[in-house]
């Protein structure tokens, strides 16, 4: 996903003279092409995320469209108040990109896990929260965020994730992408767990459950009409996200649903626990450890089918 981001931002900067890329002392070689082509529009802001966010706000207040880029926890929680006061309060066109969504950097330890960023960012007024499901969605998300010209957080993974979309889908901020229709179970995938959702759909279909899959790449604003439709048409709605349960996408859907008259008993949330994950191994091992793998998700949905 991060290579897709580098590719996208370089191409978009060719077309958009206002795009300025700020990095927090990471991704150096990744942006070589950008730096070659646009030397006055790339700045390494150092290991200073609060400072970088303020710089982005100042650039945006002066007519530019900055994108800040660093590892997810550092670009979100570390500088959360700068995001709130400097970016969201004045409603400036700043795009924050966090690399290392969820457990992408599981083996680096809990300081590098990002199981709380969706929660932290979506509580901020004016903020948009986008969690692309694969590299194709990353490229589309960056382009869409530049069009939006509002505070936007894009949560991307690392490198080498499976590419899900063979063709670029229609991508609109705030509109989920239906990848597969069904009748029994709707798997609502948020971000980098999209390949797991598709895998689960295969297995569930084999077991006789008609399963749909949605990439709900935007957590804020939520796609209310799509969610209403899912609750009306399916018997189960299962939200998958590599993020803590508290404050994540499932939590956002509950906040919305409790005033909509939809049957929230249909909802299942597959998300992370309320504890720091230590010695959890690599991303795949960590996913298994918290039940965010195909086997555990399928088993839970099948065993809990009757209620």
Partner 1 sequence: MTTPTSTTLAAQLRAEVVQMSHRAKAAHLASALSCVDVLTVLYGQVLNLDPAQPDHPDRDRFILSKGHAAAALYAALAWKGLIAPDQLLTYGEQHSLLEEHPSPKLPGVEAATGSLGHGLPIGNGMALAARIQNQAYRVFVLMSDGECNEGSVWEAAMFAAAQGLDQLTAIVDFNKWQATGRSQEVLKLDPLADKWTSFGWAVTELDGHDHDQLLAALTRTPSGRPHAIVAHTIKGKGVSFMEDDNNWHYRVPTEQEVLDAKVELGVA
Q: How far apart are CA 205 and CA 286, in angstroms?
A: 26
Taking each helix axis as running N to C, give the angle between helix 194-206 and helix 294-303, from 0 to 180 degrees, rounded to the nearest 10: 50
**Phi, psi for 6 (deg, rounded to 5):** -60, -40
| Residue 46 interacting with partner 1 (CB under 8 A) | yes
Segment interacting with partner 1, rule: CB under 8 A, options 79-87, 101-109, 162-170, 298-306: 79-87
- Binding flag, residue 36, partner 1 (CB under 8 A): no
User: In this chain, which of 43, 228, 233, 246 binds partner 1, going by CB under 8 A?
Assistant: 43
Selected from 8, 34, 53, 201, the binder of partner 1 by CB under 8 A is 53
Report in angstroms the alpha-carbon separations of 116 from 120, 122, 290. Answer: 6, 10, 15
Binder to partner 1 among 28, 32, 37, 90 (CB under 8 A)? Answer: 90
CB neighbour list of residue 189: distance below 8 Å, 6 or more residues apart = 133, 196, 197, 198, 213, 214, 215, 216, 240, 241
DSSP bridge partners of 214: 178, 188
Nearer CB in complex with partner 1: 37/207: 37
37: contact with partner 1 by CB under 8 A: no
Radius of gyration of the chain (CA): 19
Nearer to partner 1, 146 or 238 (CB): 146
| Residue whose C-alpha is closest to residue 197's, from 297, 120, 116 | 297
Per CB under 8 A, the list member of 25, 51, 169, 175 interacting with partner 1 is 51
Closest approach of partner 1 to the CB of residue 49, in Å: 8
Dihedral over alpha carbons 126, 78, 270, 152 (to 10 degrees): 30
What minimum distance in Å lies between the beta carbon of 78 and partner 1?
11
# chain residues binding partner 1, by CB under 8 A: 29
Residues that bind partner 1 (CB under 8 A): 20, 40-41, 43, 45-46, 48, 50-64, 66, 81-82, 85-86, 89-90
């Amino acid at each position: 996903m991060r290579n897709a981001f580098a590719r996208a931002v370089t191409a978009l900067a060719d077309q958009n003279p206002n795009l300025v890329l700020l990095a927090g002392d990471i991704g150096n070689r990744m942006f070589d092409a950008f730096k070659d082509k646009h030397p006055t529009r790339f700045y390494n802001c150092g290991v200073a995320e609060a400072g970088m966010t303020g710089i982005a706000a100042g650039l945006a207040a002066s007519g530019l469209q900055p994108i800040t880029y660093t590892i997810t926890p550092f670009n979100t929680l570390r500088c959360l108040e700068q995001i709130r006061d400097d970016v969201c309060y004045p409603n400036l066109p700043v795009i924050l990109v966090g690399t290392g969504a969820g457990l992408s950097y599981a083996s680096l330890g809990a300081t590098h896990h990002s199981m709380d960023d969706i929660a932290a960012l979506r509580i901020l007024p004016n903020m948009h929260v986008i969690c692309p499901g694969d590299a194709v969605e990353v490229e589309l998300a960056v382009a869409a965020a530049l069009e939006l010209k509002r505070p936007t957080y894009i949560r991307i993974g690392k490198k080498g994730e499976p590419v899900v979309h063979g063709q670029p889908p229609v991508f609109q901020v705030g509109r989920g992408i239906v990848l597969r229709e069904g009748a029994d179970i709707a798997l609502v995938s948020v971000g980098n767990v999209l390949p797991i959702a598709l895998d689960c759909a295969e297995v569930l279909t084999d077991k006789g459950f008609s399963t749909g899959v949605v990439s709900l790449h935007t957590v804020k604003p939520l796609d209310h009409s799509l969610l209403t439709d899912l609750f009306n048409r399916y018997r189960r709605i299962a939200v998958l996200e590599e993020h803590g349960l508290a404050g994540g996408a499932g939590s956002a859907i509950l906040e919305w649903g409790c005033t909509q008259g939809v049957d929230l008993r249909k909802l299942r949330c597959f998300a992370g626990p309320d504890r720091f994950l230590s010695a959890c191994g690599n991303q795949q091992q960590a996913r298994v450890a918290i039940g965010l793998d195909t086997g555990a998700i399928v088993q839970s949905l099948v065993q809990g089918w009757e209620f």
